[in-house]
Structure 1
Amino acid sequence: MYNDLIHELSFLGNSKKIQKIKELLRNSKNLKGKKNPELQLSASALVFKGEKLYFIEHPYQKELLLPAGHVEEGESPKEAALREFHEETGQVAKNGQLVDVNIIEIPFNAVKNEKAHQHIDLRYTFELTRGPTRRAELPVFLLSKAEAPKEFQKYFNRREKRRT
């Protein structure tokens, strides 16, 4: 069911993390939307404006995260990342490339009464195309490497290497 995605992950290398995620995908049925209460697909957008990266304040976890959300039925993870970036920030981006994947532990959400579960989160870099075309759904922050949460600082290094 996820053969194209498994193939795309091959370009990220062959680490234990990648192998584990490929195995989860091979053994899973529908991970789109919220149909599987244990494991779901999500996608994140890495979009820079100059030397700063876009972040949102997550409404339930109350922490700064990349714009992201669930991959819905009928869309690819890349399309989901673009959609979520636009919805959450109001900005428009294009030309995505998969750069990372993680398994994220999602805590119990009392507001939505959702039990703790995991996301396979696919992370894509995009180019910012133009300013806001709609109002942002969430608080938006442009942060430098020094200001960004530690987990995301490695993406700034990737950007710096591309420039040299």
Structure 2
Amino acid sequence: MLDELIKEIDELNSQSLPWINQVKLDHIKLMLKDSESKLRNRKSDLHLSASAMAFTDQAGIFIRHPYLHTILLPAGHVEMGESPFECALREFHEETGLNADPKFRRLIDVNLIDIPANPIKHEGVHQHIDFRYLIHLLPELPGTAELPVFYLDEAKSPNEFSKYFFLIK
């Protein structure tokens, strides 16, 4: 698995995306190598997560996080036997009720995110190495969303995600 994650990050470097920071990605690759055995352990201080950026018309699709009470991309922890991309698709569907095309796969960013303690899940303060994917929606009727879903244009989206609107221009 580690080799696949490193390869994805290296492929991300070859894209001409204005937000890509080589120093950050090199640091994340080192963290992955040093922490591979604990990335899927919810009791560790470093977790592997994945998120999905999807657009419809000129709007990005976001959710309201139930614990952090803020607008974020649909995302979640990568489970055992699951790739980050598979996680991004699964979480996107669970949280929004929408379906994405599993044949379209594009990593657009990898980030290190500080996560506060969550006593409800018995998780202490930790960090996520978050693989962010651009996904394409399938023209299917939506199912039931687990979380409130928001369709926001670039001006209304959280600052952290407004840069991704570059992908639809």
Q: Who is 1:57 aligned against?
A: 64
Confirm or deny: 8 A CA contact 1:54 1:141 kept in the other structure: yes
Q: 1:129 aligns with which of 117, 134, 138?
A: 138
Write the letter of the residue equivalent to 1:74: G
Q: Who is 2:80 aligned against?
A: 73
TM-score by length of 1: 0.92
Q: Which has the higher strand share?
A: 1
Q: Secondary structure at the match of 1:87?
A: helix
Confirm or deny: 8 A CA contact 2:59 2:151 kept in the other structure: yes
How far residue 36 of structure 1 moved from its aligned partner, in angstroms, is 5.0
Percent identity at matched positions? 49
Structure 2, unmatched stretches of 5+, are 14-20
Q: Who is 1:8 aligned against?
A: 8
How far residue 114 of structure 1 moved from its aligned partner, in angstroms, is 1.5
Cα separation, 1, equivalents of 2:49 and 2:160: 17
Q: 1:23 aligns with which of 27, 30, 40?
A: 30
How far residue 33 of structure 1 moved from its aligned partner, in angstroms, is 3.5
Q: 1:89 aligns with which of 89, 96, 100?
A: 96
Q: Who is 1:117 aligned against?
A: 126
Q: How has the CA–CA distance of structure 1 residues 8 and 109 changed in structure 2, closer, same or farther, with 3 Å as cutoff? A: same
Q: Who is 1:144 aligned against?
A: 153
Confirm or deny: 8 A CA contact 1:32 1:70 kept in the other structure: no
Cα separation, 2, equivalents of 1:31 and 1:134: 33
Q: How has the CA–CA distance of structure 1 residues 62 and 26 changed in structure 2, closer, same or farther, with 3 Å as cutoff? A: same
User: What CA RMSD, in Å, does the superposition of the two structures yield over aligned residues?
Assistant: 1.5
Structure 1, unmatched stretches of 5+, are none
Confirm or deny: 8 A CA contact 1:32 1:72 kept in the other structure: no
Confirm or deny: 8 A CA contact 2:114 2:126 kept in the other structure: yes
Cα separation, 1, equivalents of 2:49 and 2:141: 23
How far residue 111 of structure 1 moved from its aligned partner, in angstroms, is 2.5
Cα separation, 2, equivalents of 1:144 and 1:71: 28
Alpha-carbon displacement from aligned partner over 1:84-122 (angstroms, at most 9, x marks no partner): 000000000111210100000001113323111000000
Residue-pair matches, total: 160
How far residue 37 of structure 1 moved from its aligned partner, in angstroms, is 1.5
